[in-house]
Structures are given as structure tokens and as C-alpha cells.
Amino acid sequence: MAEARAEAGASQLRYGLGLVGIAIVCLALAAAPVPGLFQFAVFAAGGVFLALGVVWLAALLWQEQRARRMEQHLADLVESDPTCAVLCDRTHRVRATSAVASDCLGARRGASFPVIMQDVFAGAEDAMRRIELGAKASGAASEEIPYRSGKCSIRLRSLPGGWSLWRLVMLDQSDRDVPVIRVGPDDEILSMNARARALFGREAAELGELVADLPLTPGKVHPMQGEPERKLQVMRSDAEDGGAELVVNEVEAGDQVDPVGSFETLPVPLLRLAPDGTILSANGEARELLDLRANEVSNVARSMEGLGRPLADWLSEAAEGRGLNRSEFLRLTRPDREVFVQVTLNRTEDDGRPVLIAVLNDATELKTLEAQFVQSQKMQAIGQLAGGVAHDFNNLLTAISGHCDLLLLRHDQGDPDYSDLVQINQNANRAAALVGQLLAFSRKQTMRPEVLDLRDTLADLTHLLNRLVGEKVRLVLRHDPILPSIRADRRQLEQVMMNLVVNARDAMRDSGELMIETERRILREPLRRDRALVPPGTYVAVTVSDEGIGIPSDKLQKVFEPFFTTKRTGEGTGLGLSTVYGIVKQSGGFIFVDSVLGRGSVFTLLFPAHVGAREEEVAPEEPPAKAPVTAPSEGVVLLVEDEAPVRSFAARALRLRSYEVIEAETGEEALELLAREDTKVDVFVTDVVMPGMDGPTWVREAQKTRPEARVVFISGYAENVFSAGGDEVPNSVFLPKPFSLSELADTVAMHLTA
């Protein structure tokens, strides 16, 4: 840089001297005998050039002095720098060095800095070139290169005028408590820290001078070169420059050798197992996953379950080399939470004895998805079963209970057969309720949602709930004063509350308090719980809490499964909570359960809050459960039913009430009867699911010519008839099977007079 500055200064000096020279020539011409005006002009020009030259030379002198002062100032700073610092000019000549740089690098003023660096560091020239390119872009740059005792960080700061300040920071690894060797791509040794030099007792240029039996193999024990009785285990960590950092550990006689080189520090749960399942060692990740204490002696069978066969058999096969690399999914026996793991076994040997390495992978989320899929498949299967059972079974129950009603009309309470007929009727109703519960669990019930205020719904239900709980249990209701409305089926919601209350009552064998609370809950973040994800939003929460015996933790996730019950044989069907689950899910809600043995259980229901005003439902209405018995009426009923026993009972029931009944087996036959001009019909009573044309289809066709006709749909299972988006059937009501004689007759009578 000084040479460049000198060259630039010489050029500027020549320019200034040129101005002075021109001034001298002008003054010489002014002294010659020439005309007065020309003499005056030349003299004036000479004066101007002389002044410019003097000013130029003065400025040049000032700049030179300023540059020298700046250079001296920088040199003073560098020389007093406690680190390894070197000041260079644009030609990389050393202009100043710190005492540390002079001692460590042998740097002297005027020497070439790249030559100095090349003598100390291998590949320094390329590194300096990369650093300078980086400094041109940002003004500063740095890079680490290998050094004999570790690494050296070379840092460059660009200065004005093309000057550069270099700093070298030694990253000595001699303070590490393990022997470390840095090697290049060809196993040439770049550096050894103090502990490595102490281990081998010397420095070396090649790795082969220190370790025999190359190349290095992870987990393998290598003899020390020249001292084969001393064994070494080497863990290799590759570097970006193609070299590597080697951590060397001397293995004493009797020590266990880490078969993976980094067993403890690997971020994967690993177990070392004996063939009988004894845990020989576990790394930190595995101890945390299995909830094991350090150095705890245990058997893997105590921590895992769910294989479907003895774990000892599986481990023995793996120790013999059979069934390796085939994963198994097991459940951990942790008491705090449910965790599933995917376990893969590999076989190795330790002093000639087989040892198993178990690689664990947390598969809880995977098993959760699998459980959700299995649950959906189970729901679909039960739904298909329930649909088929509901249609056929309810037809049978309608015929049984209907003909039983006809028999009861001919027997009074004093008749010996009266009690038997009542038993038949009651058991038919119980069977119908069982089918209804199956439909509820599988979410196949026909819903009639409406906007409800749960405070009003529960208030109307309080009297019945008090009768259900009895005198020993105290029922308490608490409501949120600003509770939003929900949209649900009132009848099904009442069924939910009754089932939960009955379960809570049965859990409190002696006495206690049963509390039903409602409140508004706002979720600002998604709620993930019990394999369910509740999206953010406003919800109406209903909690039913009891002071009963509680539910064991291993049975808590099974309480919503159909036919699962903790009650004794004959005390329950196992469909109560599954019915609750199905209705809540069909209503778009969520249900969770918490329980503590000996303290009680809490069932929490979350229903999405309804946004908007109350709305009138236009779907077919269901008649009241207990309609008043009407007097005999007149009218013509077209009865369409494909099941002969049901059609026979329904026709007799209507004729007993003085209705004229026209019977048809199919929808097509009904349309043929209506095609006659002399056929007069006041009301259609039709099954929904039939061979050929179903009930709604033939009714819509018939209403094109008879729009005034009233319709009563009867069915034990009508999955898609009244679903959202379907065309509505005007002037229609729905009567579910099985129905009694009076229910059928009263429904027809009320619909005709409505």
C-alpha cells in the first residue's frame, strides 16, 4: 500500500511541479522586451500558475503527512494489540504486527504475509483468497482452518486505502477432556490435542502410525500401533473439508464396548438386551421414553406389553438370528400416559455371547390414527349391521307387539293369559329399545334437529331425572347465565342425559351428589385430547359428575365401546354409553371422560354453539309419544307395506277405528290403484324401505295428481330418506317402528284433523 501511495504521490508531485514550471516560463517571458499589454498578460498568467503550483504542493505535503500519521496510528494500535494481529498494505506486505503475531508467526515488517501464513498453515493461500473475496462484499470475513493443536480462525477487516487488518484466533482443543485427533481426507494428521499426545506419547504425521488395523470401523476395537495389547475405540465425526475429527478412547480389559460408537449420545432410543429380556444398558432417550432410572436393572417385559405372545419367545428367536429387522408395535406400561413404540431388533455379539440391540420409535401418533381408523371401520360395520337388523327386526317386533295389542283387546286383566300377553308386549318394547341403541351408537338414527336452550331442556327433564336417581342421591343443576343455544335432536339429547344419570346413579352405591353443569367455553386454540381434535370456536359444555367408585384407568378408553360394561351379568346391556357416544357424535359434538378410583367420574360433553335465530324445522314431524286416544273416525287409508304380518296388523288396527283400508304390497301397486278414477284416498300410510319404489318416491309421484293427500311414513330404519338436502314430502309425518295399535290409529286421526 505504501508503494501505491508513493506512486500516486509522485504523480501528483509531478503535476504540481509542472504548474510551477509553467509559472517560471511565464515570468521569464514577462521579463523579455515585448509590448506592454502582452507582457502584463504573461506576467499575470505566470502568477496564477505559480500560486496553483504552490497550493498543490502544499496540499500534497499535507496529505502525505496525514497518511503517515494514520499509518503510524494504525501501526501503534496493532503493535499494542494483545491478540495475533497483522497490518498489511495492498501488496500484502506487513506494515505492523502485534507481539503475539511476531512470536507465533515470525511476522516481520516488510515481509510477505501470504508467505508467512503458508509456512505456518497448510492451504493458507486458498483460505486467504476466499476470505478476501468475502471481505470485498461485506467489509469483513473469517474462516477456520486446521492448526497443529486444533483450529485457527482467520479474520480480515478491510480498511480505507486498500489496507487490511488480519487477526488470528487460535481455537486450541487441548482443554477437552478426551483425546481428539484431526485428520485430513487421506488420514494425514492435522492436529492432536494434549490428551491425544499424552495417550500415544508422541505426535505423528499419519493415522497409521498410531492405530493399527485400518480403516476405522465404528464400534470395532483397534490395537494401538506398536503396542497391540492396548486397545482403542475410535468415534469418527466427518468434517466439511473431507477430513474428520476422531475421539479416541482406550478400552481397558473387561470393559463393555459400545457397539455403535455413540450409544449414549445418539438421539434415538436404544436398548441393549440379553436374550432373556434383561436390559443391559439404555441410552438417555430410551430411559426417558421408558421412564427408567439410570443404572436400573430391569426386564423389558416389565416395560412393554401387547405383543400377543410371550416377549421371551420373540427375543429368543431374535437372539438365534430369526425374525430380525421386523418391527413390532408394543404398548409401554407407563402409569402416567399411554405410549406405543415400534421396536426393531438387531443381533450383535459381546465376547461371543449374543446381545440384542433394540431400536425404539415412538409410534403413539401412528397408533392413534390406526385406532381412529379401526373405530371408523367398527362404526361402519355396526352401522351396516344395525341398519339391516333395524329394518327386519323392527318389522318383526311391529308384528309381534301389534298382534299382542289385538289379543289384549280381547282379554281383560282378570284373564289368566293377560299377564303373559303383557310380558310379551314389554319384552318386544325392550327389544325395540335395544335396536334403537345400536342405531344411536352407529349414528344411523333419523335425527330431527332443532335449536335448543339446554337450560330449558334440562329444566323440563329434571322431574324425570329426580325419579331416576332416587332418594339417596342428590341431583344438583348449575347453569351458565349466558349459555348459547345448540342445534340437536331434543329426544336424543334427553336420552343422553338419562343414560349418563343412570350410570352415575349406579356408580354411587350408597349415596352422594350428582351434579349437572352447563357453561359456555371458548377455544382459541385447537384442543387435542383422547385421540380427538376439537377445532377452535364457541361451545356449550355439559358436565355430569358423580361421587361414585370411579373407572379403572385400563378400562377408561373402552367405556364407549358397544357391549362393554363393568356391571354384573344381567344388570346392563353395555350400550348405554355407546348410545351416548353415537348421539353426541351425530350431533357434531365431543365427549370426554375423567375418572379417579374411589372419588368418582366426570363426563364432559361439548356441543358447537348455534349461531343464528331459532328456526322452524320442515322435516317430517314425529307425533307425541303419548297421543290421546281418539274416537272412531271415518276416512279412506291406502296402506302400503311389503311385510305381510305388519300389513295385516296395521289394516286390522285401522279397521277397528272404522277406517276403510285399501292394501298394497309395493309402491307400484299403490300407483296402479290410484290411477283408477273411482279410488278415493284421504291418507297414505306407507313403509319407507321397500323393494322397487321406496315410500317417498311413489308418494311424490302420487301427489302430482293428489296433492291434498296426507302421508304417514312408517319405518324401522330410514337412513337417507329425510337427510339434509333431500326433497321434502309435504303434509307428512313419521311414525317409527315398532308402534302400537293405538299409536298408529291416533297418528292417522290427528294427521287427518290437523
Which of the four pLDDT bands, split at 50, 70 and 90, describes residue 720? low
Q: What is the pLDDT of residue 638?
A: 93
Q: Are residues 286 and 353 in the same domain?
A: yes
Q: What is the pLDDT of residue 268?
A: 74
Residue 591: CB atoms within 10 Å: 21
Tell me what percent of the residues of the chain surpass a pLDDT of 70.
73
Rounded to 10°, the helix 36-79/2-31 angle is 160
CATH number at residue 661: 3.40.50.2300
Q: Going by C-beta distance under 8 Å and a sequence separation of 6 or more, which residues neighbour residue 322?
A: none
Q: What is the pLDDT of residue 1?
A: 43
Q: Going by C-beta distance under 8 Å and a sequence separation of 6 or more, which residues neighbour residue 721?
A: 446, 688, 694, 695, 696, 713, 715
Domain boundary among 380, 402, 437: 437
Q: Are residues 104 and 156 in the same domain?
A: yes
Residue 601: CB atoms within 10 Å: 23
Q: Would the pLDDT of 158 be above 90?
A: no
Q: Are residues 117 and 42 in the same domain?
A: no
Task: Give tens-digit pLDDT for 573-603.
Answer: 556 787 788 888 888 899 999 988 888 999 9
- Confirm whether 16 is domain-assigned: yes
Ranked by mean pLDDT, the top range of 284-298, 342-356, 426-440, 453-467 is 453-467
Task: Give tens-digit pLDDT for 179-205.
Answer: 888 787 778 887 787 788 888 888 888
Q: Would the pLDDT of 743 be above 70?
A: yes
Q: Going by C-beta distance under 8 Å and a sequence separation of 6 or more, which residues neighbour residue 3?
A: 89, 91
CATH number at residue 345: 1.10.287.130
Q: Would the pLDDT of 619 be above 70?
A: no
- Confirm whether 499 is domain-assigned: yes
Q: What is the pLDDT of residue 171?
A: 59
Q: What is the pLDDT of residue 631?
A: 45
Q: Are residues 167 and 223 in the same domain?
A: no
Domain boundary among 151, 172, 193: 172
Domain count, the chain: 6
Task: Give tens-digit pLDDT for 320-368.
Answer: 877 766 778 888 888 777 788 888 888 877 777 888 888 888 888 777 7
Q: What is the pLDDT of residue 563?
A: 60
For the beta sheet containing 710-715, the strands, ordered from the edge strand earlier in sequence to the opposite edge, are 660-664, 636-640, 683-687, 710-715, 732-736
- Confirm whether 259 is domain-assigned: no
Domain boundary among 437, 463, 480: 437
Q: What is the pLDDT of residue 626?
A: 43
Q: Are residues 379 and 409 in the same domain?
A: yes
| 557's grid cell | 378408553
Better-predicted residue by pLDDT, 20 or 464: 464
Which of the four pLDDT bands, split at 50, 70 and 90, describes residue 2? very low
Better-predicted residue by pLDDT, 207 or 12: 207
Q: Going by C-beta distance under 8 Å and a sequence separation of 6 or more, which residues neighbour residue 365?
A: none
Contact 316, 275 (CB under 8 A): yes
- What global pTM score does this model have? 0.40
Report how many helices (DSSP H) and strands (DSSP E) the chain contains, helices first.
18, 30
Q: Are residues 48 and 120 in the same domain?
A: no
Q: Are residues 291 and 200 in the same domain?
A: no
- Confirm whether 457 is domain-assigned: yes
Task: Identify the weakest region by mean pLDDT among 44-58, 507-521, 623-637.
Answer: 623-637
DSSP E strands, 252-367: 270-273, 279-282, 304-305, 328-332, 340-350, 353-362
- Confirm whether 412 is domain-assigned: yes
Q: What is the pLDDT of residue 23?
A: 62
- Confirm whether 257 is domain-assigned: no
Q: What is the pLDDT of residue 211?
A: 87
**Mean pLDDT of the residues in the chain:** 77
Q: What is the pLDDT of residue 141?
A: 81
Which of the four pLDDT bands, split at 50, 70 and 90, describes residue 688? confident
What mean pLDDT is predicted for residues 666-673?
A: 91
Contact 358, 343 (CB under 8 A): yes
Task: Give tens-digit pLDDT for 417-440.
Answer: 888 888 888 888 777 776 766 665
Q: Which of 288, 283, 284 is CA-nearest to residue 272?
A: 283
Q: Are residues 67 and 126 in the same domain?
A: no
Q: Are residues 315 and 407 in the same domain?
A: yes
Q: Would the pLDDT of 262 be above 60?
A: no
Q: What is the pLDDT of residue 48?
A: 63
| 307's grid cell | 405383543
Q: Are residues 125 and 195 in the same domain?
A: no
Q: Are residues 228 and 163 in the same domain?
A: no
- Confirm whether 577 is domain-assigned: yes
Domain that holds residue 247: 180-251
Helical H segments across 201-352, by residue range? 284-290, 300-303, 311-319
Q: Are residues 749 and 641 in the same domain?
A: yes
Task: Give tens-digit pLDDT for 524-571.
Answer: 988 888 778 899 999 999 999 998 888 887 777 777 776 666 655 445
Tell me what percent of the residues of the chain surpass a pLDDT of 90.
11
Write the burial class of residue 358 (CB in 10 Å: 0-12 exposed, 13-18 middle, 19+ buried): buried
What mean pLDDT is predicted for residues 24-28?
A: 64
- Confirm whether 385 is domain-assigned: yes
